[in-house]
Amino acid sequence: MRKGILSIGAAAAALTLGLTACGGESGDTSAESSGAPSAAAGDAKPGKIGVILPDSKSSARWETADRKYLQEAFDAAGVQSDIQNAQGDKTAFQTIADQMITNGATVLMIVNLDSGTGKAVLDKAKSQGVATIDYDRLTLGGSASYYVSFDNTAVGKLQGEGLVKCLTDKKADKPIIAELNGSPTDNNATLFKQGYDGVLQPKYDSGDYKKGPDQSVPDWDNTQAGTIFEQMLTQEPKIAGVLAANDGLGNAAISVLKKQKLNGKVPVTGQDATVQGLQNILAGDQCMTVYKAIKKEADAAAQLAVSLAKGEQPQASGTVKDTEGNRDVPSVLLEPQAIFFDNVKDVVADGFVSKDELCTGDFADKCTKAGIS
């Protein structure tokens, strides 16, 4: 029996995975409770890891960050991998999963497009002895052996608190708030909303803020977000603060505000610390974003996947309740960070975006003001 402790990253919480090599004599029942099939147990050669990303439009992160960091982690571990993107197509998602399994994947990591289709993919994989990981989005009622993400309610809380800070800085009086929520089929969007409504609802209740339009954006579609926000602003021209659930939705709102010369006057939130979101912050058009250190998320997930590919049965440090499946899913959750003008530099210092891509053209001066050197 071999027992080892793997430590991922430094700063984030809940980052220790205890690894237990499989083999019944360990007496460790957690292996069973994880439900992970021991795909390549005893094999000298590790199995192959398949990853399906959701799309490349709802956020820049999937292609610019997640793919890159996952690939680097698999390569560093010397394990074969195949990372593909379903481009928002649920049928393609299932086809990619089937092909990956046919081509020898023994571990499948997915970012679902919705829980229903995600569950079908996970269940099918599991029935074929393939170990599964929910990456970033929990598949409600699903059967993934592990879940790796950020504390998504904490993400929403930072957004709510960030909007309050920006409105306070602007000395806003009884501001009308618009909420532009993420996809109704993404469990994360539900958690983000729980987080920010936890901050905003008491303000609505006390009369400090006035609740304005509140709408979800199907599939996080940025174009639809623009149309929705345009309607919101027509219906309620005095919107004074926008809780946008990610940088793409925030940018859609900013584009509409610009047409009314309201950009910079109406604070807008975001998430993902995308180059566009950070530039909107530097320009003063966006109030804040939430930085999620995706390298740590990718490393944590890759570490689990590599261990599974070697036939081990890793143990995650915590669990997350899948309320629909009434199941405690072994999980790793990381801590997000709020980013305002003054600490955009932290995201650059962390290597998530480079000064070269951020500080282009007119942004060069603003970068200097924000202390990005």
Q: Which residues bind ligand BGC (CB under 6 A)?
A: 58-59, 61, 136-137, 182, 186, 188, 220, 246, 271-272
In terms of DSSP H, where are the helices of the chain?
Answer: 30-34, 61, 67-77, 90-102, 115-127, 152-169, 187-206, 222-235, 247-259, 275-282, 294-309, 344-349, 355-358, 363-369
Inter-axis angle of helices 152-169 and 187-206, nearest 10? 40
- Closest contact distance (angstroms) between CB of 369 and ligand BGC is 27
- Closest contact distance (angstroms) between CB of 272 and ligand BGC is 5
- Output 115 or 313, the one with its CB closest to ligand BGC: 115
Residue 343 Cα distances to 120, 293, 349, 369, 370, angstroms: 42, 14, 10, 11, 8
Inter-axis angle of helices 247-259 and 275-282, nearest 10? 40
- Output 159 or 271, the one with its CB closest to ligand BGC: 271
- CA nearest 354: which of 340, 343, 344? 344
Specify whether the CB–CB gap between 165 and 203 falls below 8 A. Answer: no
- Output 20 or 271, the one with its CB closest to ligand BGC: 271
- Output 136 or 299, the one with its CB closest to ligand BGC: 136
Cα dihedral value 97, 99, 101, 103, nearest 10: -150
- Closest contact distance (angstroms) between CB of 249 and ligand BGC is 8
Burial of 355 (0-12, 13-18, 19+ CB in 10 A): middle
- Closest contact distance (angstroms) between CB of 93 and ligand BGC is 14
- Closest contact distance (angstroms) between CB of 48 and ligand BGC is 25
- Output 37 or 336, the one with its CB closest to ligand BGC: 336
- Output 4 or 218, the one with its CB closest to ligand BGC: 218
Rounded CA separation 114/89 (Å): 11
Specify whether the CB–CB gap between 351 and 294 falls below 8 A. Answer: no
Q: Please identify which residue in the block is written with the tokens 């081509």.
A: 103
- Closest contact distance (angstroms) between CB of 169 and ligand BGC is 25
- Closest contact distance (angstroms) between CB of 248 and ligand BGC is 7
- CA nearest 272: which of 9, 113, 112, 58? 58
- Closest contact distance (angstroms) between CB of 277 and ligand BGC is 10
Residue 244 Cα distances to 38, 50, 137, 290, 364, angstroms: 42, 32, 19, 11, 26
Residues in the chain, overall count: 373
- Output 90 or 210, the one with its CB closest to ligand BGC: 90
- Closest contact distance (angstroms) between CB of 167 and ligand BGC is 23
Rounded CA separation 72/62 (Å): 14
Helix (H, G, I), strand (E, B) or coil at 57: coil
Which tokens in the block code for residue 93?
Answer: 């998602």
- Closest contact distance (angstroms) between CB of 189 and ligand BGC is 7
- Output 186 or 312, the one with its CB closest to ligand BGC: 186
Helix (H, G, I), strand (E, B) or coil at 279: helix
Q: What is the CA radius of gyration of the chain?
A: 21
